[in-house]
Structure 1
Amino acid sequence: MIDSVKQKAVVLILSMAVMAGCSSTATQPGQGSSEVAPTDQNGGAQVYSGNGAGGVSSSTSTEGQSAQQQQTKQQQEAALRQVRTFYFDFDTAEIKPEARDALMAHAAYLAANPSAKVQLQGYTDERGSKEYNLALGERRGNAVKQFLVLNGASADQISVISYGEENPADPGHNEAAWAKNRRVVLIYK
């Protein structure tokens, strides 16, 4: 499970690096902005026009770039939304920094789709009492809920349930197994 998440993260990072390497902006001397509309040297509205016909206007080029950037952003968010299990350190409900981008993508999706509903299932490892683990699983779920709400999702779209130490992802009795069991899983309804 962790290897699958790591593979997805590596693929995502590599695709973002390729996209960043493929995109570039030109600047003209004296301008503070790094985004410049494509115009000819005389300040005209067409670029690459040859004999005045068949050129690309700056508004068309900018719209095309914007649409491509929007499509790229949507693809990246869709890839991030594939991550639906978020892991926690021992005895804490603090969201790890590496989970934030994927959670931001889920929050954006929920904000853009008000009819979407998600259930946050909180889990713990086997250490601790049943009551303590149920409370910790709920705190973890509520931490994820708060993060999603603060980033655009509606609280009405999100429900939290704690399973505590029940339904372990790994039935082992060692740190590697426990690390897989300390989690919140997002289930879209």
Structure 2
Amino acid sequence: MNRKLWINLMIAMLVAGLFMTVSCAKKTIVSDGTTIEDQAMVEAAAAAEAKALAEQERIKAQDLQDQMANEQALKEAKIIAARNRFGNQNIHFDFDSAQLSSMAKLLIKEKAEWLGDNSGVVAVIEGHCDERGTTDYNIALGERRAIAVKNYLVNLGISGSRLTTVSFGEEKPLDSGANEAAYRKNRRAQFVIK
């Protein structure tokens, strides 16, 4: 009986040992190719999504940079347009007069605003006349016209040190015609930015 007991005990220990070995052993996952393929697809999808997000961010950054460049170009274009308008809009006078009309005063106020916004600008105010009258008289009249414009600008708050005057009399006509339309164009104060 002793021998049967020992055999039963040995079988019981062997079963217990196998049970322990099987339950405590490192479990290996038997996988077929589909799980590896699934893992690869998940990783590829994540990489594609990350790449797409990076591309979206790059596009947003480029769009922002383009927008800033466009705004800067627009700002510069406005500055150039305002500068050109300042230099190209002349103050016109009646025949044999240095009095500023209401239209001339509005134009000078616009020029004063531009000069106020551009404090580094120095301007020359040129006085011009039509061809009627003597050379000396027209030089004096052109000077009175330029001074009238300068004084109005100074009264609007522009420093007189930024403005100089010169008279060309009848020497630099805009229109060389000998009719009233040409004379009207030539009776002017003109701005030149230094």
Q: Normalized against structure 1, the TM-score is what?
A: 0.56
- Specify the code of the residue in structure 1 equivalent to 2:168: Y
Higher-Rg structure is 2
User: More helix by proportion, 1 or 2?
Assistant: 2
Q: Name 2:89's counterpart in structure 1.
A: 84
The gaps in structure 2 that reach 5 residues or longer are: 1-77
| Contact kept in structure 2, 1:91 and 1:136, CA below 8 Å | yes
Q: Secondary structure of 1:119's match?
A: strand
Q: Secondary structure of 1:89's match?
A: coil
| Contact kept in structure 1, 2:87 and 2:192, CA below 8 Å | no
Confirm whether residue 164 of structure 1 aligns to residue 169 of structure 2. Answer: yes
Confirm whether residue 106 of structure 1 aligns to residue 142 of structure 2. Answer: no
Q: Deviations over 1:113-133 (max 9, x none)?
A: 332101001100111110000
Change in CA separation of 1:130 and 1:106 when aligned onto 2, cut-off 3 Å: same
Q: Name 2:35's counterpart in structure 1.
A: none
Q: Secondary structure of 1:127's match?
A: coil
Give distance in 1, aligned partners of 2:134 and 2:122. Answer: 31
| Contact kept in structure 2, 1:85 and 1:184, CA below 8 Å | yes
Q: Name 2:18's counterpart in structure 1.
A: none
Confirm whether residue 145 of structure 1 aligns to residue 153 of structure 2. Answer: no
Q: Name 2:135's counterpart in structure 1.
A: 130
Q: Secondary structure of 1:166's match?
A: coil
Q: Deviations over 1:89-133 (max 9, x none)?
A: 000001121122221121122234332101001100111110000
Q: Secondary structure of 2:167's match?
A: strand
Change in CA separation of 1:82 and 1:127 when aligned onto 2, cut-off 3 Å: closer
Give distance in 2, aligned partners of 1:119 and 1:159. Answer: 5
Q: Secondary structure of 1:159's match?
A: strand
| Contact kept in structure 2, 1:86 and 1:185, CA below 8 Å | yes
Q: Name 1:69's counterpart in structure 2.
A: none
Confirm whether residue 183 of structure 1 aligns to residue 188 of structure 2. Answer: yes
- Specify the code of the residue in structure 2 equivalent to 1:103: I
Confirm whether residue 118 of structure 1 aligns to residue 116 of structure 2. Answer: no
Q: Secondary structure of 1:167's match?
A: coil
The gaps in structure 1 that reach 5 residues or longer are: 1-73
**Number of aligned positions between the proteins:** 116
RMSD: 2.3
Q: Name 2:69's counterpart in structure 1.
A: none
Q: Normalized against structure 2, the TM-score is what?
A: 0.54
Give distance in 1, aligned partners of 2:139 and 2:122. Answer: 23
Q: Name 1:96's counterpart in structure 2.
A: 101
